Amino acid sequence: MASSHGKPVRKVVIAGGGTAGWTVAAALAKNLGSMLAIELVESDAIGTVGVGESTIPTARRFHEILGLSEADFVRATGASFKLGISFENWAREGERYFHSFGSTGRSTWMADFQHIWLEAQALGVAGPIGDYSLETQAALAGKFRTGGNVPLNYAYHLDATAYGLFLRDFATKFGAVRTEGRITEVRRDGLSGDIAALVLDSGAVIEGDLFIDCTGFHGLLIEEALETGFEDWTHWLSTDRALAVQTAATGPARPYTRAIAHDAGWQWQIPLQRRVGNGLVYASAHLSDDAALERLAQRLEGEMLTQPRLIRFRTGTRRKAWNRNCIAMGLSSGFVEPLESTSIHLIMIAVTRLMQLFPFNGVTEALADRYNALSRAELEGIRDFIILHYHLNGREGEPFWDACRALELPDTLAARIELFRESATAFQASDELFRVDSWVQVMLGQGLAPEGYHKLGQMIGRDRLRQSLAELERGIGQQVAALPTHQQFLDQYTALVAA
């Protein structure tokens, strides 16, 4: 139960650095630094996971809140630009679909675009639904530009370790204090049970009023000290291993992430300015670590710049992200695998939510309950979206994928799939991350064919549908043709930044 003693929060202590810790420190220092003392404790002897090299467009809004320069960020992190994710071999071997960050087609107040497109497809006057997405067509053509007359919705590929260092410099400029040391004891108050201080290997005692746990999977504060409990979701998402390695680039940087399915999971390729991040995600029940390492090595397209790193994980969530005067953020709060690049977003939204609900007058149960309800709702929505990819697969005869198709789904996801199957209706609730376009692209891409749809397209008529879609496709083609290649834009952009 959360404390309600009403002790004002004047000092925040962040346990752990890396992307999570320094994202939190940067946001708090920039926006609440005049009201708070902020101290981050980290040890150079403890490595960070540092795998997440891909973001979603919400990162741009977070950077705006911090007042970060995109040019400075791109220079510091070796970033490239991302328009979405190419899903390869997920529905069936040899098939591909694209989950873009942009809007698809033109929706109306009466019906979303997929209903119109389904009618046009039935009449034989529509191409693939991705033909009507600017971001999809730009990505597949390898084109990109920020600004200008072609408004692309984009995110970033980045070096996560460099990003943590970039945010560290930013946070310390706004008053955050970094303390080097390994935490050897989490000291609790004898009366309230709250965390009172962190004791370091040097003997230093770091006291605080509110503690943020960014210590990674094991959750040194939230779990080891407070025994909050963990809700395991591996019965829905059974991948539990990832091998990560960096390779030299072998060609122009694509403006998208590749997620390539294999018989026990999937492989990622994330192009940065000067290298490529690679990884193999897999279920250890279906693929041994040695076999996974061999498979990854066979699939690499460039020279290895690092040795492959094995990461063990368990999908699930802490029963409470906020427990007493401790809030877990990043991997310590839970983990949903990196398929849709949500890990960094979850850190950003967690600290944004904290700033909105900040306990200036003291930690209360009501604040913690509200924070926990919002956090759980968003994470469950992301969980459902990830399960969707696995469940709707056509890779028959492979035990891993057969088991994914046979899953007993969360009720929330089962209802959403049935709604789309029956009527092509998709939705985004107010507390959900993924938009209608995202659900539609993945459901259709994974082979879920609706049995019915809204009749707006029928009311429009065949000839008007053909003309409207042709004009839409032609306009997108003209916009894409006017764009430079992603690599050309990167070269120009980084040259201007360096100057």
Is residue 247's pLDDT more than 90?
yes
Is residue 50's pLDDT more than 70?
no
pLDDT value at residue 1: 45
Is residue 109's pLDDT more than 50?
yes
The pLDDT tens digits of the residues spanning 8-45 come to 999 999 999 999 999 999 999 999 999 999 999 999 87
Q: Is residue 100 part of a domain?
A: no
Q: Is residue 416 part of a domain?
A: yes
Q: Say what the pTM is.
A: 0.95
pLDDT value at residue 92: 92
Q: Is residue 297 part of a domain?
A: yes
pLDDT > 90 in the chain, percent = 93
**What is the rounded distance in angstroms from the CA atom of residue 172 to the CA atom of residue 457?**
56
Q: Output the six-digit token pair for 432.
A: 């959900």
CA dihedral 15, 17, 22, 24 (to 10 degrees): -30
Is residue 418's pLDDT more than 70?
yes
- Provide the pLDDT confidence category of residue 91 given band limits of 50, 70 and 90: very high
pLDDT value at residue 150: 82
Same domain, 49 and 195: yes
Same domain, 416 and 371: no
Is residue 52's pLDDT more than 60?
no
**What is the rounded distance in angstroms from the CA atom of residue 499 to the CA atom of residue 489?**
15
Same domain, 270 and 325: no
- Provide the pLDDT confidence category of residue 148 given band limits of 50, 70 and 90: confident
Is residue 329's pLDDT more than 80?
yes
* β-bridge partners, 200: 183
Q: Which of 312, 340, 362 marks a domain boundary? A: 312
Same domain, 413 and 462: yes
Same domain, 260 and 288: yes
- For the annotated catalytic residues, the residue numbers are 82
- Give Cβ neighbours of residue 456 (< 8 Å, ≥ 6 apart): 108, 110, 111, 115, 116, 119
The whole-number average pLDDT for the span 246-275 is 96
For the chain, the domain total comes to: 3
To 5 degrees, how large is the angle CA 43–CA 44–CA 45?
Answer: 85
pLDDT value at residue 3: 46
Q: Output the six-digit token pair for 96.
A: 């591909």
Q: Is residue 71 part of a domain?
A: no
Are 103 and 445 in contact, with CB atoms under 8 Å apart? no
Burial call 469-480: b when 16+ CB within 10 Å, e when fewer: beebbeebeebb
- What is the average pLDDT value for the chain, to the nearest integer? 95
**What is the rounded distance in angstroms from the CA atom of residue 148 to the CA atom of residue 160?**
29
Same domain, 417 and 448: yes
Same domain, 434 and 414: yes
Q: Which of 324, 356, 376 marks a domain boundary? A: 376
Q: Is residue 68 part of a domain?
A: no
Is residue 287's pLDDT more than 60?
yes
Q: Is residue 103 part of a domain?
A: no
CATH value at residue 335: 3.50.50.60
The pLDDT tens digits of the residues spanning 292-303 come to 999 999 999 999
pLDDT value at residue 47: 61
The whole-number average pLDDT for the span 73-82 is 96
Is residue 5's pLDDT more than 60?
no
pLDDT > 70 in the chain, percent = 97
Same domain, 388 and 474: yes
The whole-number average pLDDT for the span 256-274 is 97
- Provide the pLDDT confidence category of residue 325 given band limits of 50, 70 and 90: very high
Residue 442 is part of which domain span?
110-149+382-481
Same domain, 462 and 386: yes
Q: Is residue 404 part of a domain?
A: yes
pLDDT value at residue 367: 97
The whole-number average pLDDT for the span 79-104 is 96
Is residue 48's pLDDT more than 80?
no
**What is the rounded distance in angstroms from the CA atom of residue 226 to the CA atom of residue 33?**
27
Same domain, 205 and 252: no
Same domain, 401 and 260: no
Q: Is residue 176 part of a domain?
A: yes
pLDDT value at residue 499: 60
Q: Which of 376, 411, 427 marks a domain boundary? A: 376
Same domain, 412 and 321: no
Are 209 and 37 in contact, with CB atoms under 8 Å apart? no
Closest of 373, 372, 387 to residue 329, by C-alpha: 372
